[in-house]
Structure 1
Amino acid sequence: MNIVKRAKAPTPKFFKVLRNIGLVLAAVGGTILAAPVALPVVISSIAGYLAVAGGVLSAVSQITTISDHKNAVQ
């Protein structure tokens, strides 16, 4: 199954929840990074990690699919 088919295939409910959490983390991280005020380096660093972690979590959760029993690897 190629990446486009995987992205379009149905996603299990648990991974939909994880995808949404990842999107929120990425949004929070991006908002903190784009803040117009000077923030301490530690906060900017944490915001960068949040944005990356949220993006990865969302991407991995989106390509997780529901497979039929006969197609599952055993």
Structure 2
Amino acid sequence: MEKRKQDKLASMGKRCKDETPPFFKKLRTAGLVLAAIGTSVVAAPIALPAIAVTIGGYVLLGGTVITAVSQTAVGEMDCEEKEKVK
């Protein structure tokens, strides 16, 4: 793997471990709730109309994306401080 790709992968790991700002913590929680609702609709033990299952799939996808993006968000000041250290 190229050095540049390794650096990006290491950077992503560090971002996921850093402190998440309060707004993105709330957004992450909302994304988890949406993902749970979507999963419940898609995996329902009863027969649901196709449109309900389709909407549930989109809600699941949206919740997953919101959660992933919110988890990698870090404060602007944190990024600037780390750049000065390097």
TM-score for both structures, normalised by structure 2: 0.78
Amino acid aligned to 2:42: L
Query: Which residue matches 1:13?
Result: 22
Instruction: Please list the CA deviations of residues 36-59 of structure 1 after superposition, one character each: whole Å capped at 9, or x if unmatched.
Output: 111001100000000000000000
Gaps of 5+ in 2: 1-9, 82-86
Query: Which residue matches 2:40?
Result: 31
- Which structure has more relative contact order (CA 8 Å, sep 6+)? It is 1
* Cα distance in 2 for residues equivalent to 1:17 and 1:59: 13
Q: Following TM superposition, by how much is the alpha carbon of 1:70 offset from its aligned partner in structure 2, in angstroms?
A: 7.6
Q: Following TM superposition, by how much is the alpha carbon of 1:26 offset from its aligned partner in structure 2, in angstroms?
A: 0.3
Give the 3-state SS of the residue equivalent to 1:2 in structure 2. Answer: helix
Query: Which residue matches 2:72?
Result: 63
TM-score for both structures, normalised by structure 1: 0.90
> How does 1:43-54 map onto structure 2 within 5 Å?
43-54=52-63
Dislocated runs of 4+, deviation >4 Å: none
Q: Following TM superposition, by how much is the alpha carbon of 1:17 offset from its aligned partner in structure 2, in angstroms?
A: 0.3
Q: Following TM superposition, by how much is the alpha carbon of 1:25 offset from its aligned partner in structure 2, in angstroms?
A: 0.2
Amino acid aligned to 1:40: P
* Cα distance in 2 for residues equivalent to 1:23 and 1:62: 11
More helix, by proportion? 2
